[in-house]
Structure 1
């Protein structure tokens, strides 16, 4: 690139102008003030990133990971390997007329390992790895984002040549920030210019260059991306990176506990069964929290109860020092016992933990387990979940005579399930598109679904009111019940004493 002394010429002209004005008796104070203001403005813009160059992260040799170190994503790994094999064995693929892949899009919930998969892809293909976030390309100043896109691709080629490699992988995390559908931001075209530049760079990639570049992007909102990004010839493959199933969770736990001393009684399979819905990031935090709990106790190894305690910490947060009043904590005990009783009634053996220990934003907590991860749900299963969610508020009504705001989150989840039932044709309306159902009729359908389950749960709890009070009192006394202890109490028919009946019943009759 030829040398262009723009700065020297500008400084020379400015100096000559100042000398000329001073020699002719002009007051230079306003000019100096204006120059100082412009200098401060330039410094401010530079510090805020308006003129800064793109900063990317490149993997070092000691940071290289392999697909074997990524657990719980067997399907995603196999699909990604299949796409990468075209790059590893390009001469053979070229003989068959295979066009090289330009982009791979990883989609899935946060914390499922999309970044790790991209790093492993670089090691699998012996490529230089550069990573950047989508937010680094978007600025309020026109043209900055497009320039950073150009710099990124140029940097990838230069680093590959410096390392003696002919492949480079560019990983863009949260690509929905810069790759959103064009035309949504009418007041500023910076978003569109940045996306256009990315499209141009990907179109310009050829399979016979000195450095072949593969773009891997990640997002959990693929629905927001511009269709031009997803067409063949740009992001040719979409790899779904889902939450791990039970076997995947066990594999991830085994990976994250390799460097941790475990007690002989630790059953990681039981922990995996308890952590339905956990991502890989959640499971890593779970193993770390269990180790922290063991460290606080001065234990030499991590036991099963440390893992069980860590599950609650990851899901709800640390225990709260502030304790609710006696009436509030009794209501919480009744509420959680109602959940547990209906869950055990519908699915025997499902209750794992019952507690009234405040954590995070929850005053109490009830946890149930599932025999296996499900991808489809029958109407009976959805109605059972609805019944369990409604049971807490109905138990309060049966024992205490009123409901409380503690069931707000339960009702939100129940509403989502009921709406799923309507969309799936499980209401009296049958099969109908959501857009075709009037709002008033939609409300009536939800109300009918809720009413059936409320009546079902209320009849059950009213018929087992003494058992409900007995278990709630035990929970209040011990603060936490395991699933085994709960089932022992659930199987008993202990009727409370007369004074207890008057005490609890009096509240209910007011």
Structure 2
């Protein structure tokens, strides 16, 4: 077992690529004898907190080379001078590694033609004749120039996906190994309540849970401590002093319960967290499905159905129009756009042309198809809720009593209803 396996859970394919690069850096003559050029650069991209810096630090330790870490701390001309100085210092200590952290912060203008990019390209090119390996990390390559991303400057570009499933559970288990958890805290609940498992976010969540537990005088860290920390850190939902009358609270609870019920019926075990907690500016609620990425047409249509379920639930139980569903309708329209354009769900004739102009006839047809599909999926949500009315009302009741439910709570409610 090397440092990669000791320090990093998951990312097996990424670790294997890093091991291959390291082998080439450690045995260059063998690779050159077969006509291979020794890699000079590596770019790692991911959302914040997914382990880019950790992978880079382990890579550097495994290499045995001297290293220099560079981050942007100043503006414009002084920054360019500091960047050039960092490359010069790294070249003077070669064989070495220069770690460039957070490339996405180098340029404020979001322009691929910014002088910072030109300076970085020149520095990389000037270092080609030396035994300097450059590692760069970024949260986003959207505004980086293609000339910088091309092979030759960065021989490898690795994208780190958020860990999912069993790997995510292993990561959470590792970070909770020394926490005084009560028996009602489930690893699977924490994984499913987070849209992606970021180690940095997870550490913050569990630290806040420990603070909550200690302040409240709890014997252990209980599920409620963890739930409150998840809402505050991941979803930025703090408790508010605002209050609503009972009828309005019941409607909000039913609205969120309907989202969760339809989500669970269409995709069992998919809802990670559902709450009626609002924030300081408004009182409302939300539910989080565990599936972050839509893979096919069925999942997309299911997601639209779930999005419309809040409005359908209030209509089913209270017989009134849900005036708080405007955001859901906007999201449903956005997803329908994907269905009609990206997936050509309404046929290729309804896909917009490259110049984004449609004839009046096609535009009218497109709007008619959109309205009909929206109505169809709304009625689908309504029927699912009608057929699972007991489940819906049970989730509403538990939300009114506990405010927030996790995946295991929904599973228990479903079992009691069936």
Q: TM-score range by the shorter chain?
A: 0.7 to 0.9
Counterpart contact for 1:119–1:129, Cα < 8 Å: no
SS in 2 for 1:387: helix
Q: Which residue of 2 aligns with 1:417?
A: 335
Maintained 8 Å contact 1:357/1:480? yes
Q: Which residue of 1 aligns with 2:21?
A: 83
Q: Which of 122, 143, 151 is the aligned partner of 2:85? A: 151
Unaligned runs of 5+ in 2: none
The question of whether the paired residues in 2 share the 8 Å contact of 1:103 and 1:236 is answered with yes
The TM-score with structure 1 as length reference comes to 0.69
SS in 1 for 2:42: strand
Distance 2:162 2:275 in 1: 27
Partner of 1:380: 298
1:26-46 CA-to-partner distances (Å, cap 9, x unmatched) read xxxxxxxxxxxxxxxxxxxxx
More deviation, 379-388/482-491: 482-491
Name the counterpart of 1:103.
41
**Which protein shows a greater Rg?**
1
Matched, 1:293 2:212: yes
TM-score (norm 2): 0.82
Q: Separation in 2 of the partners of 1:358 and 1:375?
A: 25
Distance in 1 between residues matched to 2:245 and 2:207, nearest whole Å: 33
Aligned to 1:38: none
* SS of equivalent to 1:118: helix
Deviations 1:186-222 (A, max 9, x none): xxxxx32x33232222112245x4xx32222222322
* Structure 2 CA distance for partners of 1:420 and 1:489, relative to 1, 3 Å: same
Does 2:160 match 1:241? yes
Q: Distance in 1 between matches of 2:149 and 2:404?
A: 51
Q: CA deviation at 1:467?
A: 7.4
1:196 matches 2:118: yes
Q: Which moved more, 1:359-368 or 1:242-251?
A: 359-368
* 1:128 to 1:255, Cα distance in 2 relative to 1, 3 A: farther
Q: Is 1:390 the equivalent of 2:308? A: yes
Q: Distance in 2 between matches of 1:411 and 1:282?
A: 31
Residue 248 (structure 1) shift: 2.5
Output the CA distance in 1 between the equivalents of 2:146 and 2:301: 38
Cα distance, 1:362 vs structure 2: 6.8
Q: 1:368 to 1:202 in 2, by over 3 A?
A: closer
Q: 1:261, 1:471 → 2: CA distance?
A: 30
Is 1:71 equivalent to 2:9 in the alignment?
Answer: yes
- SS at 2:29 equivalent: helix
Q: Distance in 1 between matches of 2:388 and 2:171?
A: 42
Residue of structure 2 in register with 1:215 after alignment: 134
List gaps (5 residues or longer) in structure 1.
Answer: 1-64, 184-190, 492-510
Q: Tell me the SS of whatever aligns to 1:131.
A: strand
CA separation of 1:147/1:353 partners in 2, compared to 1, >3 Å: closer, same or farther?
closer
CA distance 1:121–1:396, shift in 2 (3 Å): same
In structure 2, the CA distance between the partners of 1:408 and 1:278, relative to structure 1 (3 Å rule), is farther
RMSD after superposition: 3.4
The CA distance in 2 between the partners of 1:182 and 1:265, in whole Å, is 51
Alpha-carbon distance, 1:97 to partner? 3.1
Q: Cα 1:156–1:217, aligned 2, differ >3 Å: closer, same or farther? A: same
Cα distance change on mapping 1:324 and 1:126 into 2, 3 Å: farther
Judging changes above 3 Å, is the alpha-carbon distance between structure 1 residues 144 and 410 closer, same or farther for their aligned structure 2 residues? same
Provide the rounded CA distance (Å) in 2 between the counterparts of 1:326 and 1:173. Answer: 48
